[in-house]
Amino acid sequence: MVFSSKTYSPLTIAGAFIGAMVGAGFASGQEIMQFFVFAGPAGLLGIIGACILFFYIGNLIMKMAFHARTPVYRDLIVKTFGRSGLFWAFDILISFSFFGVLVVMTSGAGALFNEFLGLPFWVGGALVLMPTFVTVLLGRGAVIRAISVIVPLVLIGIALITIFTLWQHPLSLREFIHSAEPQKAVAQGLVPVSAVLYAAYNILLTLAVLTTLGSAVSSTRILRMGALLGALGLGAASLCIFTALAADLPTTAASEIPMLNLASRIHPLLAGGYGVVLLLEIYTSTLSLLYGLTDRFFKLPESHEARGNIGPAVFLVCVAALFCSYIGFSNMVSLFYPALGVGSIVFCGLLWRRRHIILGSDKVSKF
């Protein structure tokens, strides 16, 4: 099913692009800390490199979906790789990635509610999964709107924390260099590797949303503008988080949720507001992942009127995610993310190599 260009403007695409990429790990500050801040000032170059990849690969996937005229990522993979061993390997990788990170997000929600509100672990996970389940059943249009509408709140929250942090603790380049710990960074501080790894695994996890966006417009120009605006928004938010964390690195490095730690030292109201933002980001992350799983097996329609009887199956996926979340948040991250990162790089690289199959030689040269 192809959507109308009226529904998907460049701003809508940019909002969904950012909303799907920006998860709870990003908004908490942990991803930027682990991938870039620990690497020191060179981490700024890593952020720039990652955002260039977000634009290029994100735009490529949407453009391929546009020419393939499919909103379903599995169909796009079939048309790119055929029903070969590579197709089945990537199909399994992506499906397990969606479910595995859905479990990680559910576990994170349970831990957050348990630590800060004292609620049972399963209650926190259920409170995030319930609205996610309902939104998915409302169809593709509802999913894209829900993901994109939360983006302004996230960007405003990040900007406020950065401004007030720099006001209280101006960034000292000398102290930042002294406090940086490259040995703790992803890839031991090898910034180019961190940038590629960070971009690749985020793009893989948003594959379902990007494919849907690509099939929903009347021209590739709209996609290119949306991808550019989305990449610029991601870059600006990443640089803000980087600066805020670097300004008070000895403290933020010791925090599980560094951006929330900064907010709590500015004002309780800001901390409470940003806590809500984090919960919304867990919601958008789980929404993007559950949507991808549902679309993989049921090809979700645009609206709820044509969804059929998929509710019980989607509900069982949510129950399975809640059950598996008891493995533990930190255990899931340490077990799952390394394999996800390597698989994501291989997938993005081979997708780029085979782009001509869908785009054709002329369109590849003009890309």
Instruction: Note whether 26 and 239 are within 8 A (CB).
Output: no
How high is the pLDDT of residue 5?
A: 41
How high is the pLDDT of residue 97?
A: 86
Domain assignment of residue 166, yes or no:
yes
User: What is the full DSSP assignment across 245-267?
Assistant: HHHTHHHHTT-SSHHHHHHHHH-
Q: What is the pLDDT along the chain (367 residues), one digit of tens a residue?
A: 444 444 678 888 999 999 888 877 788 888 898 889 888 888 999 999 999 999 999 999 999 999 988 888 999 999 999 888 888 999 988 988 898 888 888 887 887 777 677 778 888 889 999 999 999 988 888 888 898 888 899 999 999 999 999 898 887 767 777 667 766 766 776 888 889 988 998 899 899 999 999 988 888 899 999 999 999 999 999 999 999 998 888 778 887 788 988 998 888 899 889 988 888 888 998 999 999 988 888 766 555 554 557 788 889 889 998 888 876 554 555 556 667 778 889 999 999 998 888 887 555 555 5
Of 112, 109, 122, 158, nearest to 287 by C-alpha is: 109
Domain assignment of residue 190, yes or no:
yes
How high is the pLDDT of residue 4?
A: 43
Task: Pick left, alpha or beta for residue 153 (phi over 0 → left; psi -120 to 50 → alpha; otherwise beta).
Answer: alpha
Residue 181 has phi, psi (to 5 degrees) of: -130, 80
Domain assignment of residue 306, yes or no:
yes
Instruction: Note whether 231 and 23 are within 8 A (CB).
Output: no
DSSP-derived secondary structure letter, 37: G
Of 102, 95, 262, nearest to 110 by C-alpha is: 102
Domain assignment of residue 5, yes or no:
no
How high is the pLDDT of residue 1?
A: 41
Angle at 45 between CA 174 and CA 347, to 5 degrees: 140
User: Residue 136's domain spans which residues?
Assistant: 10-366
**Distance from C-alpha of 166 to C-alpha of 69, rounded to nearest angstrom:** 47
Task: Give the chain's domain count.
Answer: 1
Of 6, 43, 20, nearest to 188 by C-alpha is: 43
How high is the pLDDT of residue 71?
A: 87
* Cβ within 8 Å of residue 138, ≥6 positions away: 303, 304
Domain assignment of residue 4, yes or no:
no
The residue to which tokens 């379903």 are assigned: 72
Domain assignment of residue 332, yes or no:
yes
CATH number of the domain where residue 34 is located: 1.10.4160.10
Domain assignment of residue 2, yes or no:
no
Domain assignment of residue 136, yes or no:
yes
How high is the pLDDT of residue 69?
A: 87
Instruction: Note whether 230 and 63 are within 8 A (CB).
Output: no
Strand locations in 212-345 (E): none
Burial of 56 (0-12, 13-18, 19+ CB in 10 A): middle
How high is the pLDDT of residue 7?
A: 61
